[in-house]
Structure 1
Amino acid sequence: MRFVIVTGMSGAGKSEGVKYMEDLGFYCVDNIPPTLIPKFIELCRQSQGDIDKVALVIDIRGGMFFDDLFASLEDLEELGYSYEIMFLDASNETLIKRFKETRRKHPLSVNSSIGEGIDKERDRLKKLKAMATNIIDTTRMTPGQLKEEIRNIYLEGNQTNNLIIYITSFGFKHGIPLDSDLVFDVRFLPNPYYVEELRDFTGKDIKVREYVMNSPISIEFSNKLFDLVDFLIPHYIKEGKNQLVISIGCTGGRHRSVTIAHVLYHKLKEKGYRSILTHRDDTLRERKRD
């Protein structure tokens, strides 16, 4: 039987995550008291195979009972039951924004600000996060991307480490993404903007990608870029980094940056890395130049 504990920061997407796990055939229970876990797992094992995948959502909503989780996990190990921990996380800024948008109160911010509640929760979950089998940072994820990530881990079995690589195209004229870890400027590559029949298309269109990648410089750069990123990833993993944001920029963020981001994304996917591709500015139209 596969047993997964779903936990993490409030507002990081646990409710959505457990819905996706239900879609994958997991028997899901939300907010069960931790002391009942060993008994619950024993009941599932007695189902004679009717229940072979279980996901339990356990977080700080359990209040004083939350700290019983670690004793229950030790009991499971003594009984010979294996388990996995999926920890959902997000940046403080993202969590605050989500709470404000939904007008919900943070469970630990009854007499304090949302930010203070998040800090308290992060401190209480520090030990559990360190024990996590899979850490998913949802800061930049859409619900669809979270669903795909969970499917990749728990259905496809493609997860090999906790690092998620976000590849984002952008336009320098609109500013560099603030959460970038690595920024690459591709404004030296052939520019489809100056080709009238390509100007209104983007790097998502094959004709634009073919134009950009028809240059030996583009091919050499994309190969060197992949080699660099491929070299860096194991070191980031060793450091314990959970997400790596690679931002690739051109002038407007519609042609060259989208093309190179597309090429890098597919090379990383082919290598088996957990990657997500986004385009920040590709839908913004360039103003016609004099």
Structure 2
Amino acid sequence: MTAGTEAGTPGVARAGAAPVGPQDDVSPALDPASTETPPLEVVVVTGLSGAGKNSAGRVLEDLGWFVVDNLPPALLLPMVELGARGDLRRFAAVVDVRSRAFSSDLEEAIRLLSAAGHRPRVMYVHARDEVLVRRYESNRREHPLQGNGTLTDGITEERALLTGIAGEADLWVDTSDLNVHQLRATLENAFARDGRTPPLTATVMSFGFKYGLPLDADLVVDARFLPNPHWVPELREHTGRDADVRDYVLGQEDAGDFLDRYTEVLRLLLPGYRREGKRYLTLAVGCTGGKHRSVAIAEEFARRLHAEGIAAVARHRDLGRE
């Protein structure tokens, strides 16, 4: 991902006075004398500085959301209500530590939005420390909480400050290994529904255990119990997306039972997730290097979830990393 540090002017919408993108689902403006406002879809983009919140905001803007950057939490509800009295139905705001003491204020602002009948969702954008350090160093800028300390000190302080809101987020987006195109695909899968977000969206992510666990995984599956195609010379250079490797992995004696039984587990879990209002699910499938077994299994799980009526997409974190 090439996004660097966050920048912007407080309370200034990137799109100017008019929303960008399709607005086919907007309804007529209310009578100016009326005190009632219709509910809006609201996305609050927050997270670590340098993780790519502004890039996420630009993607939402391209998808037809009206986006405001660097909005103080106290102004969130007034801005949403102002937009609701006009012709907006999808509103997004980038809110972060550039607004001081924002964490507790943001949690209260989100509570007030819900109490007012709106539909707020929180997207938490983050990345690994070493990735954030590299991005800041490449842009030669200071972290907003760095002060007289080191860059790492600023990142550590911000992580601690964000603990509460991170735990309440509806969607976590780890940009450590995403380029701008993959970030766009991730957000399109979650938000590009003409204003009608499905009850549950699933990402099935393959990964290599030797590169570490995905931080944003809700469920983790270990595919290392299956024979490794790496040790089959004619398969070694291929990946789990190739038919020969896929057939080898899925054709193993235990693979079918494993997939069937874990699909039953998912069938048990999914209704509970829906009841609890969970909109996004990340199922991580790991093998040693994230090249063969996990890729084939992740693709198959995505296919099965799609057959269950879940909007599912497979993403391969470590494919091509070797």
TM value normalised by structure 1? 0.71
Which secondary structure does the structure 1 equivalent of 2:98 belong to?
Answer: helix
Q: Does 1:43 align with 2:82?
A: yes
- Structure 1 residue 9, shift from structure 2 partner: 1.2
User: How many pairs were matched up?
Assistant: 271
Structure (1/2) with the larger helix percentage: 1
Q: CA RMSD in A?
A: 4.1
134 and 178 in structure 1: CA distance in 2 versus 1, 3 angstrom threshold = closer
- Structure 1 residue 189, shift from structure 2 partner: 6.2
Which secondary structure does the structure 2 equivalent of 1:108 belong to?
Answer: coil
Task: Read off the aligned partner of 1:44 and give its amino acid letter.
Answer: G
Question: 2:316: which partner in 1?
Answer: 278
Question: 1:176: which partner in 2?
Answer: 210
> Is the Cα contact below 8 Å between 1:166 and 1:245 reproduced in 2?
yes
Percent identity, aligned pairs only, is 28
Match for residue 148 of structure 2 among 101, 111, 114: 111
254 and 107 in structure 1: CA distance in 2 versus 1, 3 angstrom threshold = closer
CA distance in 1, matches of 2:270, 2:133: 29
> Is the Cα contact below 8 Å between 1:189 and 1:256 reproduced in 2?
yes
CA distance in 1, matches of 2:66, 2:185: 19
TM value normalised by structure 2? 0.65
- Structure 1 residue 93, shift from structure 2 partner: 3.6
1:216-231 aligned within 5 A: 216=253, 218-220=255-257, 222-223=259-260
Question: 2:164: which partner in 1?
Answer: 127
Deviations 1:25-60 (A, max 9, x none): 11111012333333322321222x2x2211111110
Which secondary structure does the structure 2 equivalent of 1:109 belong to?
Answer: coil
Which sections of structure 2, spanning at least 5 residues, go unmatched?
1-39, 215-219
277 and 42 in structure 1: CA distance in 2 versus 1, 3 angstrom threshold = closer
> Is the Cα contact below 8 Å between 1:152 and 1:159 reproduced in 2?
no
Task: Read off the aligned partner of 1:86 and give its amino acid letter.
Answer: M
246 and 102 in structure 1: CA distance in 2 versus 1, 3 angstrom threshold = farther
> Is the Cα contact below 8 Å between 1:87 and 1:132 reproduced in 2?
yes
> Is the Cα contact below 8 Å between 1:4 and 1:55 reproduced in 2?
yes
Question: 2:137: which partner in 1?
Answer: 100
Which secondary structure does the structure 1 equivalent of 2:190 belong to?
Answer: helix
- Structure 1 residue 89, shift from structure 2 partner: 2.4
- Structure 1 residue 129, shift from structure 2 partner: 2.5
Deviations 1:171-194 (A, max 9, x none): xxxx82233665433663677944
> Is the Cα contact below 8 Å between 2:46 and 2:124 reproduced in 1?
yes
Which secondary structure does the structure 2 equivalent of 1:105 belong to?
Answer: coil
> Is the Cα contact below 8 Å between 1:87 and 1:135 reproduced in 2?
yes
Give the greater-gyration-radius structure (CA): 1
Which secondary structure does the structure 2 equivalent of 1:32 belong to?
Answer: coil
